[in-house]
Amino acid sequence: MNLEDDILIERFLRNELTDEEQSDFLKRLEDDSDFKENYHLEKQLFESLNDDSWSFVENTDDIEVKEYEQLYNSPEVIAIKEAIKDASRVKTKSKNRKVIAFISGFAAAIVLVLASNIFLKETVDAQVLYADNIQLEKLPSFVTRSQTTDVKLVDAEKLFKAKRYEDALAIFSIELEENKNSNIFIYKALSEVELNKFDNAKRTLKTLTNSDFIDAEKGYWYLGLLYLKSNNKKEAKEVFKKIVKEKLFNKDKAEKILDKI
């Protein structure tokens, strides 16, 4: 089978032939057994690997679509597709269908692995960015030299630093009912983040950003980190862009994160 026939078959599969060309094509399918065999092979490969088969990316954002396009057009996948075509032209007709089924399944598995690696890499990258920027050890302390130090808040801070987030959260939640303090909001939200209670943490931080505290803007920084922790990079970008545009808390760090996502 020559290159011209391969191109002709592909044009037929893509509905690009004129009526006259299509009529000639169908007649040749009836008369030429080798051409017909190659057509069925190309058709199966086309249905397995052509661009239109990636319909599930239609509901993803632009970044993910570009990632899939890069994946599909990557040298690895192109090499796989070419190897499949070469291997599939084996003329042992009794085994031809089994060969096609095997290599198509193998190709699909390889593409799936490559796609999975993209998602895994994206998830890991977001988690690394969160870990690099959260800096829990640098949170403000409730321990002061003042005689008015709130012992319960100090205890909650100790529990938080010991990673006993459930116990710390219980105290911070109670304290917030009587003591509206921006640092308590932050500790409470981060306790929720570390417990993967992202919706609760989001509500806590948005309450902070909507408040009239002098440092209420800190809530946006931790909201952006929350979105990274939950691997919601689209929302994270929007928050960090707001921080940079309005020159809010940790503007420089937000710029660095935007360069990486």
Q: Work out the angle at residue 139's Cα, subtended by the Cα atoms of residues 137 and 145, and round it to the nearest 5 degrees.
A: 105
Which domains are assigned to the chain?
Answer: 3-122 (no CATH), 132-258 (1.25.40.10)
Would you say residue 101 has pLDDT above 80? no
Would you say residue 227 has pLDDT above 90? yes
Distance of CA 138 to the CA centre of its chain: 29
The whole-chain average pLDDT of the chain stands at: 79
Q: What's the pLDDT at 54?
A: 41
Picking from 213, 217, 204, the residue whose alpha carbon sits closest to that of residue 246 is 217
Would you say residue 8 has pLDDT above 60? yes
The Cα–Cα gap between 155 and 149 comes to 11
Burial class (CB in 10 A: 0-12, 13-18, 19+), 239: buried
Give the pLDDT mean for 155-179: 95
Q: Match 């803007």 to its residue by tokens.
A: 217
Q: What's the pLDDT at 91?
A: 46
Give the pLDDT mean for 80-109: 54
Beta strands in 98-255 (DSSP E): none
**242-257 residue pLDDT tens:** 999 999 999 999 999 9
The Cα–Cα gap between 175 and 179 comes to 6
List the structure tokens of 22: 């299509």
Q: At 58, is the pLDDT very low, low, confident or very high (cuts 50, 70, 90)?
A: very low
The Cα–Cα gap between 162 and 63 comes to 38
Pairwise pLDDT comparison (147 vs 135), residue with the higher score: 135
Instruction: Name which of 13-17, 36-40, 75-79 the model is least confident about.
Output: 75-79
Would you say residue 108 has pLDDT above 60? no
Give the pLDDT mean for 23-27: 88
* Residue 211, φ and ψ in degrees, nearest 5: -85, 175
Beta strands in 109-239 (DSSP E): none
Q: How many CB atoms lie within 10 A of CB 223?
A: 25
Picking from 166, 144, 148, the residue whose alpha carbon sits closest to that of residue 156 is 166
Would you say residue 168 has pLDDT above 50? yes
Q: Work out the angle at residue 233's Cα, subtended by the Cα atoms of residues 198 and 206, and round it to the nearest 5 degrees.
A: 40
Q: What's the pLDDT at 205?
A: 97
Using an 8 Å Cβ cutoff, are 129 and 228 in contact? yes
Give the pLDDT mean for 181-186: 95
Q: At 149, is the pLDDT very low, low, confident or very high (cuts 50, 70, 90)?
A: low
Residues in contact with 155: Cβ distance below 8 Å, sequence separation at least 6, in sequence order: 171
Q: What's the pLDDT at 78?
A: 60
The Cα–Cα gap between 43 and 24 comes to 18
Picking from 164, 158, 160, the residue whose alpha carbon sits closest to that of residue 186 is 160
Would you say residue 235 has pLDDT above 60? yes
* Dihedral, CA of residue 247, residue 240, residue 183 and residue 134, to nearest 10: -120
